[in-house]
């Protein structure tokens, strides 16, 4: 074959090469994604969300450079259900994980010694494998996927790597940092400890693993999911950060009391816990490390960054760590303090930095939103309870739709078995103990102090019908009356909580604020070698 005859072949090969290069370039131009999920962080637990006690400049940066959704919700008031919703795009009543995985249900609930009226229904113990999860959808779109931190969506066979993540650092069945605490060694079976990590916080460890993944994959398109164990109990911090926040609380004036009794448990009224404040700032430091990595690699302008929390701040139960006021309640509660969250989406290629949206949005919306942002085909059969928020991110609107919560459990924090529907400014709560329903206008009464169901009975009835039409359609399970319920025993329990536990909490609060407080274990391992 002469050179002249070979020219068409060379031209064809050159064209194929150019087309392949263009395709690779187009693939690389798709935005990277960094999804940051805090655990148990309340709506007002960030300085950018109104706290004058906690300091969070790095998370504030995400809010300032992105869009803040002021009516952003978790899909449940406790962790596992809302985490399953983030992965699946489905409300808890649909995917069947309605309480934290491992919680007692049915007659086993009596073992909690709470003497309640109802027995909670069955709760699924893992995320279903037949779902196409968000990370699996990202893999289909050509993304390398990474998970770091808390999983709590099932045990062996239902870990992050079983649901679409290429790499898993630290995710297994436990819902808190129970194996090693917040300072090294972490003793996490899904994460390797290193000698140079002595005194390192768990939050920074997860951040460094995330930063390493981003660095290793800077030339690919990646989906990094950083799911902090913080700020879940047990709350721990360094002496330096405790001292900073103890002094800050003292300078602001320490209230004589910090708790008041709610229905089942005392509930915290003050943001003045220096141990918790240090834990919050330590998580913020870790966020800063990852953001700095994006900056140094020149990836900031092409990386979507999301920040949110899985449920409200813990004002009762667990570590009784924070106050969500003026919001009512906290983690585990049916009120706004249990479900309203920091909810930020940074899209550097869209002109929305520093803007806000007051449209009610929720955790199931991230799945379709991210698919649309990367130009992938939506999967409405998967993210059945979510809608894309791209219209809001680009200055438009979305159609009003009902948001549904289903928590037929008592839990550990003092909330009541209930289901909720929010539509527009109206929020209706149905209680399973006695069938009563409360109605709140959240635009006028975000604190939920004024139940207006009686004067809006027709509206309340329509919302209730819509709520149960959805619950019945998806096969939601409901609690049942406990035939062994004894009101006298329940009252004895509540009296002990009021007369014994609440004074103990007040004592602990003042110990944390004492100038000579020392946990007696080298500050949970943060002060080893000093």
Q: Give the model confidence (pLDDT) of 81-125 as tens digits.
A: 999 999 999 999 999 999 999 999 999 999 999 999 999 999 999
Task: Give the rounded percent of residues in the chain with a pLDDT score beyond 70.
Answer: 94
Taking a C-beta distance cutoff of 8 angstroms, is the pair 439, 460 a contact? yes
Residue 501: DSSP 8-state: I
- What pLDDT was estimated at residue 257? 96
Q: Give the model confidence (pLDDT) of 408-439 as tens digits.
A: 999 899 999 999 999 999 999 999 999 999 99
Q: Which residues contact 202 (CB under 8 A, 6 or more apart)?
A: 177, 180, 181, 182, 183, 184, 186, 229, 230
10-residue mean pLDDT profile of the chain (530 residues): values are: 53 47 55 98 98 98 98 98 98 98 97 96 97 98 98 98 98 96 97 94 98 98 98 98 98 97 96 98 98 98 98 97 98 98 97 96 98 98 98 97 98 95 98 98 98 98 98 98 97 97 97 96 86
- What pLDDT was estimated at residue 293? 98
- What pLDDT was estimated at residue 179? 94
- What pLDDT was estimated at residue 528? 83
CA separation for the pair 512, 278 (Å, rounded)? 12
CA separation for the pair 512, 457 (Å, rounded)? 47
Taking a C-beta distance cutoff of 8 angstroms, is the pair 221, 142 a contact? yes
- What pLDDT was estimated at residue 74? 98
CA separation for the pair 272, 513 (Å, rounded)? 8
Q: Which CATH architecture has domain 31-397+488-525?
A: 3-Layer(aba) Sandwich (3.40)
């Amino acid at each position: 074959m002469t050179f002249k005859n070979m020219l068409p072949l060379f031209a064809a090969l050159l064209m194929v090469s150019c087309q392949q290069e263009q395709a690779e370039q187009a693939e690389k131009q798709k935005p990277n994604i960094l999804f940051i999920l805090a655990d148990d962080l309340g709506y007002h637990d960030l300085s950018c969300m109104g706290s004058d006690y906690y300091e969070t400049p790095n998370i504030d940066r995400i809010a300032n450079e992105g869009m803040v959704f002021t009516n952003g919700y978790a899909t449940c008031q406790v962790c596992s259900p809302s985490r399953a919703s983030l992965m699946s795009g489905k409300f808890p009543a649909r995917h069947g994980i309605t309480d934290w995985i491992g919680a007692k249900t049915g007659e086993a609930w009596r073992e909690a010694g709470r003497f309640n009226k109802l027995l909670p229904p069955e709760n699924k113990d893992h995320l279903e494998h037949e779902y196409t999860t968000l990370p699996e959808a990202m893999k289909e779109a050509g993304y390398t996927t990474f998970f770091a931190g808390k999983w709590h969506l099932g045990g062996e066979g239902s870990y992050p790597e079983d649901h679409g993540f290429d790499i898993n650092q630290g995710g297994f069945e436990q819902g808190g940092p129970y194996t090693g605490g917040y300072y090294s060694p972490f003793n996490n079976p899904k994460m390797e400890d290193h000698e140079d990590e002595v005194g390192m916080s768990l939050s920074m460890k997860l951040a460094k693993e995330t930063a390493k993944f981003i660095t290793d994959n800077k030339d690919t398109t990646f989906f990094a999911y950083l799911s902090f164990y913080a700020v879940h109990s047990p709350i721990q911090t360094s002496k330096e950060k405790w001292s900073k926040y103890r002094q800050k609380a003292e300078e602001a004036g320490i209230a004589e009391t910090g708790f008041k009794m709610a229905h089942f448990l005392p509930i915290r009224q003050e943001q003045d816990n220096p141990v918790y404040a240090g834990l919050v700032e330590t998580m913020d430091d870790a966020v800063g490390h990852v953001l700095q990595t994006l900056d140094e690699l020149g990836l900031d302008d092409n990386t979507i960054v999301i920040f949110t929390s899985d449920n409200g701040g813990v004002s009762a139960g667990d570590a009784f760590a924070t106050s969500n006021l003026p919001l009512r309640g906290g983690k585990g509660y049916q009120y706004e303090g249990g479900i309203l969250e920091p909810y930020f989406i940074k899209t550097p290629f869209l002109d929305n930095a520093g803007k806000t949206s007051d449209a009610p949005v929720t955790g199931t919306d991230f799945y379709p939103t991210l698919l649309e942002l990367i130009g992938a085909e939506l999967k409405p059969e998967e993210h059945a309870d979510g809608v894309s928020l791209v219209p809001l991110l680009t200055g438009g609107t979305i159609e009003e739709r009902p948001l549904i919560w289903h928590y037929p459990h008592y839990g550990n924090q003092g909330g009541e078995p209930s289901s909720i529907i929010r539509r527009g400014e109206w929020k209706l709560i149905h209680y399973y103990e006695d069938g009563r329903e409360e109605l709140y206008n959240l635009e006028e009464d975000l604190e939920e102090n004024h139940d207006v169901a009686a004067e809006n009975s027709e509206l309340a009835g329509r919302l209730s019908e819509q709520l149960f039409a959805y619950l019945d359609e998806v096969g939601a399970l409901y609690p049942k009356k406990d035939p062994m319920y004894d009101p006298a025993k329940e009252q004895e329990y509540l009296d002990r909580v009021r007369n014994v536990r609440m004074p103990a909490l007040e004592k602990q609060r003042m110990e944390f604020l004492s100038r000579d407080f020392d946990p007696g274990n080298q500050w949970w391992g943060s002060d080893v070698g000093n």
